[in-house]
Amino acid sequence: MSSKTARTALARDIAGLLAECRAAREQITGVGALKPPFAALAAWQTARLSHTHRDLLESPRYRPAANFVFSDLYGDRDYSPRDQDLERVYPVMVRVMPAGALDSIILALETHALTQALDIAMVQQLSAQADSSLPINAARYAAAYRACNNQASRRRQIELVVATGKLLDQVVDSPLIYSLIRLTHGPAHMAGLGALHDFLEIGFKAFRHMRGAADFLRIIREREFKVMEQIISGAPEQSWAPDALI
């Protein structure tokens, strides 16, 4: 496959994933924020992640990367500005960015699209519960999680996060990409692309700071698979959720 053909394929993949993200975003976001049911779900899941991975968030080595994964890849806020920035500039990015960096963006987009789909399914199940007017707790969350019956997609989500991290870890030592990100900070913000640039810059610097992401990604994978298995098996909520969420 020629370089031009390969980049055309990358552009097509990115466009398709952006369309998926846009369609989901229309269900999830209101005016400048997540709709209340999605905001509540995202806040609950972010709190659970912070509990499960507290040591990573408190580690000088891993803290920036953990914040990036649990806040910038997934968090309780509206990512529309970043997504809209990417829709505007991805044709240019496909032409100028190294293939490895583009691959990591594609994986991040696939993760984002799948996460949105999973959140939509969870909100539907939570809304169908008899006690849907009550705040989310671990028991309600687990019941909705099992009712979604999408374990394969859940496994795929975890693997995508790990795969995205592995690719990012491979490109963070590239002097070309590092210089490009540093030099384009001001111009990107002046051009109205600050949300996208900040996302890329935070992720790049966080993984560069770790000086090796293998252990970090292995820990996340093992713990998230364990939590998934505990929820599916009906294990006591105390085994995977903090007291504040029970």
Q: Which two tokens stand for residue 110?
A: 């696939």
pLDDT digits (tens, 9 = 90+) for 113-161: 999 999 999 999 999 999 999 999 999 999 999 999 999 999 999 999 9
CA dihedral 225, 229, 231, 233 (to 10 degrees): 180
For residue 1, pLDDT beyond 70: no
Domain ranges of the chain: 3-245
Between 141 and 190, residue with greater pLDDT: 141
Q: Please state the pTM of the whole predicted model.
A: 0.90
For residue 197, the model assigns a pLDDT of 77
Question: In which band, very low, low, confident or very high, does the pLDDT at 2 lie, cut at 50, 70 and 90?
Answer: low
- Which of these ranges, 21-25, 42-46, 147-151, 194-198, has the smallest mean pLDDT? 194-198
CA–CA gap between residue 235 and residue 241 (Å, rounded): 11
Between 10 and 149, residue with greater pLDDT: 149
Average confidence score pLDDT of the chain: 90
Q: Of 55, 57, 44, which Cα lies nearest the Cα of 245?
A: 44
Arithmetic mean of pLDDT, 152-181: 87
Query: Residue 140 is which amino acid?
Result: R
